[in-house]
Amino acid sequence: MLELLWETLDSTISTMTTVFLMLFLTGLMTEMGVFQRVSYLARPLASISYLPAVSASTFVVSLGSALAANTMIARMKEEGHLSERQTFLCAIMNSVPVYFRELFTYQLAFVVPVLGLFVGGAYAVVSISTGLIKLLLVIILGRAYLSRESTVAVELIVPEPPKSIMDASKKSLRGQSRLFLRIASLYFFMTLLVLYLSQEGILQSLNALPLAQNFGVPPETVAPLAIYVASPKAGITLLGPMIQNGSITEVKALTVLMLGSLFMLPVFSIRSLMPNYTGVFGVKMGLSLVVVSTGISVLVRLMVLVALLVATG
């Protein structure tokens, strides 16, 4: 148990150091009015979804770091500038840019060269489609549950930039202290829970192998499937040569990837998204974000898997 606590503490210190710096820097840039100057890039998106103008700023920030964007949203909610619904939809929207960033840094740079144009390209399209569906969901829910006036509500209360960077730094530190302590404590306990579940073998019990034969997965792909659930990059690396030497068809390879994703995504969400979201937004909203975000990703892959099975059945 002591070893588990030390591992949790080590993970918390490492991650929370980044969170503290992100909170401070985003708070500083907010006080200096930096984000207000670049928010016009995403303002049409915020406008069409009836989200506050600040969501355009955080969307731009999430192109570089979703964590930094979410801490901005959490701070605005903490100060009473955003409602629960606005915060929830802003957080979902902040999860979208990663899909487009990974198109260049992961899909085109790694997946397509390893799996080939057809399988790798289809895998990339599925990933991008997930991001687009999330964006569409934000627009639909925003227009259904938010008023048109909320688009400008937060923009009106954004403070004037202070005269000096020292003033901005002091305001940033004062604004982030309580939020940071809440994030750090929640992250610690959620990380401890995840590590405990992993140590007890509960997460590992989410095994895709017993169901593999029901989906017509060839026996030789069982190893790549199992490895993919634990490490997508390793599974893709093993699957690539099998496609190239003809031991598995491209459609079967895509079936393996979609089936593996159904088990990999929930495990990834529990290990990574749950501590981050609950730490930043609290347990209730954090878990809701994890369920919705993961549910959309799983649903897209399930639909593709069913389509593949129907096409090859």
C-alpha–C-alpha distance, residues 23 and 71, integer Å: 6
Q: What is the pLDDT of residue 29?
A: 66
- For residue 160 the two structure tokens come to 């004037």
Residue 304 lies in a domain: yes
Residue 15 lies in a domain: no
Residue 7 lies in a domain: no
Between residues 41 and 239, which one has the greater pLDDT? 239
In this structure, the answer to whether residues 149 and 212 fall within a common structural domain is no
Confidence label for 291 from pLDDT (cuts 50, 70 and 90): very high
Q: What is the mean pLDDT of the chain?
A: 78
In this structure, the answer to whether residues 206 and 94 fall within a common structural domain is no
C-alpha–C-alpha distance, residues 29 and 139, integer Å: 27
The CA radius of gyration of the chain, in Å to the nearest whole number, is 21
Last residue of a domain, one of 99, 133, 156: 156
Q: What is the pLDDT of residue 153?
A: 46
Any idea which residue has 């730094």 for tokens? Answer: 169
Is pLDDT above 50 for 33?
yes
Alpha carbon 130 to its chain centroid, in Å, reads 11
Confidence label for 23 from pLDDT (cuts 50, 70 and 90): low
pLDDT tens track for 245-280: 777 889 888 988 998 898 889 888 888 888 889 888
Q: Give 215's contacts (C-beta < 8 A, 6+ positions apart).
A: 255, 259, 305, 309
In this structure, the answer to whether residues 222 and 126 fall within a common structural domain is no
Residue 210 lies in a domain: yes
Note down the domain range covering 208. 201-313
pLDDT tens track for 45-97: 778 888 887 788 788 778 777 888 888 888 888 878 888 999 999 999 999 98
Is pLDDT above 50 for 156?
no
250-278 burial: b if 16+ Cβ within 10 Å, else e? eebbbbbbbbbbbbbbbebbbeebbbbbb
Name which of 94, 90, 93, 66 is nearest 76 in CA terms: 90
In this structure, the answer to whether residues 140 and 228 fall within a common structural domain is no
pLDDT tens track for 161-215: 555 677 777 776 776 676 677 767 766 776 676 567 666 665 444 455 555 556 6
In this structure, the answer to whether residues 51 and 128 fall within a common structural domain is yes
Between residues 292 and 174, which one has the greater pLDDT? 292
Number of domains in the chain: 2
Please tell me the pTM assigned to this model. 0.74
Q: What is the pLDDT of residue 41?
A: 59
